[in-house]
Structure 1
Amino acid sequence: MFQYTDEEYERVDFSQADLRNGELKGCIFTRCNFRGTQLDEIWTSGCRFIECDFGGAAFNASLHTRSAFTNCRFAGANLFVAKFEDCKMVGSDFAGALLDGITIRGGDWSYTNLRQVNLSKQILRGMRLMEADLSESNLQKADLREVDLTGAKLFKASLKGADLRGAKMDRIDYRSFDLTGVRIDLEQAVNVARSFGAKVD
Structure 2
Amino acid sequence: MEEITNKPFKNINFQEATFPLAEYESCVFDQCNFEQVDLSSFKFIDCRFTDCNLSLAPVVGTSFQDCQFEQCKMIGIRFDEANPFNLHMEFNACNLEHSSFFGVKLVKANFSTCRLQHVEFENAQLKEVNFTESDLLGAHFLQTNLEKANFVGATNYELDPDQNIIKGAKFSMDGLPGLLQKFKIKIVQ
Residues of 1 paired with 2:149 and 2:159: CA distance? 17
- The equivalent residue for 1:101 is 88
CA deviation profile, 1:70-123 (whole Å, cap 9, x unmatched): 101112211111221221111112123236332322211111111122222223
Residues of 2 paired with 1:61 and 1:22: CA distance? 12
Residues of 2 paired with 1:189 and 1:183: CA distance? 11
Does the 8 A contact of 2:95 with 2:114 survive in 1? yes
Q: In the alignment, is residue 135 of structure 1 matched against residue 135 of structure 2?
A: no
Does the 8 A contact of 1:194 with 1:200 survive in 2? no
CA deviation profile, 1:175-199 (whole Å, cap 9, x unmatched): 5423332222223223423422445
Residues of 2 paired with 1:177 and 1:32: CA distance? 44
Structure with bigger gyration radius: 1
- The equivalent residue for 2:99 is 112
TM-score if structure 2 supplies the norm length? 0.84
Does the 8 A contact of 1:33 with 1:52 survive in 2? no
Residues of 1 paired with 2:88 and 2:71: CA distance? 17
- Unpaired runs of 5+ in structure 2? none
TM-score if structure 1 supplies the norm length? 0.79
- The equivalent residue for 2:15 is 30
CA deviation profile, 1:21-61 (whole Å, cap 9, x unmatched): 43221111228886953223322110111111111210011
- The equivalent residue for 1:55 is 40
Relative to 1, partners in 2 of residues 1:55 and 1:184: Cα closer, same or farther, differing over 3 Å?
same
Relative to 1, partners in 2 of residues 1:160 and 1:145: Cα closer, same or farther, differing over 3 Å?
same
Give 1:68-83 correspondences, 5 Å limit: 68-83=53-68
- The equivalent residue for 2:31 is 46
Cα-Cα RMSD: 2.5
Q: In the alignment, is residue 149 of structure 1 matched against residue 136 of structure 2?
A: yes
| Further displaced range: 22-31 or 82-91 | 22-31
% identical equivalent positions = 19
Number of residue pairs the alignment of both structures matches: 185
Question: How many angstroms does 1:165 deviate by?
Answer: 2.0
- The equivalent residue for 1:184 is 171
2:12 maps to a residue whose letter is C
SS at match of 2:34: strand
